[in-house]
Structure 1
Amino acid sequence: MKKKMHILVPTDFSPASRAGIRFAIQWSQQQNAHLTFVHVMHIVRPTRWTDKQYDTFAASERALYTKKLRAFIADIQRRQPLRPKSWSLVLLEGFNADLALIDYCREHPGIGLVCMGTKGANRTRRIFGTNTGNFILQSDKPVIAVPATYRRKPISRVTYASDLADAARELKQVVALAGPLHAKVGILHLTETGETTPDPETLKKLWKKEAGRNVTIEFRKADPAVSIAKNLQQTARTLQPSLLILFSNRRRTFFQSLLYPSNAERLAVAATVPLLVLGKEG
């Protein structure tokens, strides 16, 4: 029996969270997937309280947020025709939501994807990070960033944005994810000025042999006046794939990530289509 996909879906009760949940439910309809809806709460303890006072208050807060989480999910289900086939609720406690989610993922190695809504970032949060951006940087799980404007539709076409340096190996991971969804796979490569592009037919034959599946390839000329992340964002807005896939090198120091945010992090906070970020080797 094929193993069921396990998707973790964090929520903070915001409109962006609703978008992430809608996308996760759509995924669960196309693949045999279990959804775990999770909320991270922080319980403040006044110093004057006894252990008994705190335990009583904490228990009431857990009950309150469990009820709120159930009502939030139920409201989303009422507003759309699809329902998750298999799901559960989890309430976590922690001062930092990112770290609490990272720890939960480490304790549950069966989680295959994390699906998060994102509402973008103002200037301050672009400097110090966002929940989605921080999680992408730290997580060893594939992360889907879903824009708050997302409206449910079938996941029919995924676009893998590639620099072609390690396309054959990375494509196997893309195909492994897209296959159970019965989605078409396309590769997008942004060409720079003076770059010689390989023959598309030769590449398609090579990739079919490596990945065992037909794929399409599209070359788009990059605008040298803007960043690669901005180019990808503009191209995604034009192509409108069901899912944009990007590989990101997460093995960077804190200061590197602070000064030089990755394309994946930039795209996650300015997403126009759902973005799936996978870890890049090296």
Structure 2
Amino acid sequence: MEKILVTTDFSDHSKSGLRFAIQLAAQNDYLLTFLNVHHLQIPSAWDVLSENEYQDEQKRIVHAKLIQFVENIYEAIHLKPKHVQYAVELSPLPESSVLEFAENHNFNYICISARGAGILNKILGTITSNLINQSKVPVIVVPHDYQATEISSILYASDLEDYENEIGKVVAFAKPLQASIELLNFTSLELNQEDVKKLETKIQNTTDYPLTLHVGERKQDHNLIEAIRLAVKKAKPSILVMFTQQNRNWFENIFYAGNAAEYSFHTKVPLVVFRKS
């Protein structure tokens, strides 16, 4: 059974990530582990024994709060917990703690909510950006206003440089959900319908799962983030899938735009980010 690490800080914004993970698990058998990273301030005058006792007590309190928080969301969307676990980590560095926990426990995905676009939320939202850029585990970014709905379609944006390896991961994610896949590529080259059909056939031969290809023209006055935004608005997919290049800033690598980090804070559909091989 694949495992999803679902993060929450108990805020209203974080509920969207939980709702999406719960919806995923309702359509496929995932083990969900709900994680809260708690920053605990301890008086410097305490001895080690007092500090340990206090940490243990606070973890018990936060753990109970976490269970109640998650159960309230299940109740609100009229589902019952099935394969779930709960974890509390004490750390002042949430993204580092999440990454370490996910890698040490062999999670298949990390699910996190994106925040709104206010100044404070942008600062807090850098946790999402850091996770995307640093994580070896695929990251699912869920918009803060997401409401649970059936996952039926996937828009997979690719530069086609390594689609043979990428498609296998996309299909493995889509197949249990019985979700359709549309592969989106932007090019400055002029391709006629015959060229596109040949390319679609070539790509389809790499998998036995049906998919469609949409090749869009990359206009000079649009960067890729804008082009993808427009494609998402038109296609209205359940999920957008992308791949990031290791050891490079993902946003710059994909979008070539200084303000591209805005995407994770404005996305209207959940975004799944895989690490390129």
Match of 1:27 in 2: 24
Match of 1:250 in 2: 246
Letter in 2 for 1:246: M
Match of 1:45 in 2: 42
Letter in 2 for 1:49: W
Conserved 8 A contact 2:115-2:125: no
Match of 1:59 in 2: 56
1:203 aligns with 2:199: yes
Distance 2:250 2:274 in 1: 16
Deviation at 1:24, TM superposition (A): 0.4
Letter in 2 for 1:54: E
Letter in 2 for 1:226: H
Partner of 1:210, secondary structure, is coil
The TM-score, its normalising length taken from structure 1, stands at 0.88
Distance 2:227 2:81 in 1: 35
Single out whichever of 86-95 and 48-57 deviates more from structure 2. 48-57
Distance 1:30 1:240 in 2: 19
Deviation at 1:160, TM superposition (A): 0.4
Task: Kindly report the root-mean-square deviation, in angstroms, between the aligned alpha carbons of the 2 structures.
Answer: 2.3
Alignment of 1:114-263 (within 5 A): 114-122=110-118, 130-192=126-188, 194-196=189-191, 199-252=195-248, 260=252, 263=255
Distance 2:244 2:180 in 1: 22
Partner of 1:37, secondary structure, is strand
Conserved 8 A contact 2:115-2:121: no
Conserved 8 A contact 1:158-1:186: yes
Q: Which of 75, 87, 100 is matched with 2:72 structurally?
A: 75
Distance 1:261 1:219 in 2: 20
Distance 1:71 1:119 in 2: 22
Partner of 2:181, secondary structure, is strand
Deviation at 1:136, TM superposition (A): 0.7
Distance 1:75 1:182 in 2: 28
Conserved 8 A contact 1:115-1:146: yes
Deviation at 1:123, TM superposition (A): 5.0
Conserved 8 A contact 2:71-2:81: no
C-alpha offsets along residues 220-256 of structure 1, whole Å, 9 cap, x if unaligned? Answer: 333432321222123212211010001111312xxx6
Conserved 8 A contact 2:245-2:253: no
Deviation at 1:156, TM superposition (A): 0.6
Match of 1:17 in 2: 14
Deviation at 1:200, TM superposition (A): 2.7
Match of 1:271 in 2: 267
Q: Would the alpha carbon gap of residues 18 and 129 (structure 1) be closer, same or farther in structure 2, given more than 3 Å must change?
A: closer
Single out whichever of 220-229 and 80-89 deviates more from structure 2. 220-229
Letter in 2 for 1:271: T
Deviation at 1:190, TM superposition (A): 2.3
Partner of 1:83, secondary structure, is coil
Deviation at 1:177, TM superposition (A): 1.2
Match of 1:113 in 2: 109
Distance 1:73 1:129 in 2: 22
Single out whichever of 207-216 and 137-146 deviates more from structure 2. 207-216
C-alpha offsets along residues 190-212 of structure 1, whole Å, 9 cap, x if unaligned? Answer: 233x5446723222322222112
Partner of 2:78, secondary structure, is coil
Q: Name stretches of at least 5 consecutive residues in structure 1 with no aligned partner.
A: none
The TM-score, its normalising length taken from structure 2, stands at 0.89
Partner of 1:38, secondary structure, is strand
Deviation at 1:266, TM superposition (A): 4.2
**Count of matched residue pairs:** 272
Q: Would the alpha carbon gap of residues 188 and 261 (structure 1) be closer, same or farther in structure 2, given more than 3 Å must change?
A: closer
Partner of 1:16, secondary structure, is coil
Q: Give percent identity, aligned residues only.
A: 29
Partner of 2:266, secondary structure, is coil
Distance 1:133 1:142 in 2: 13
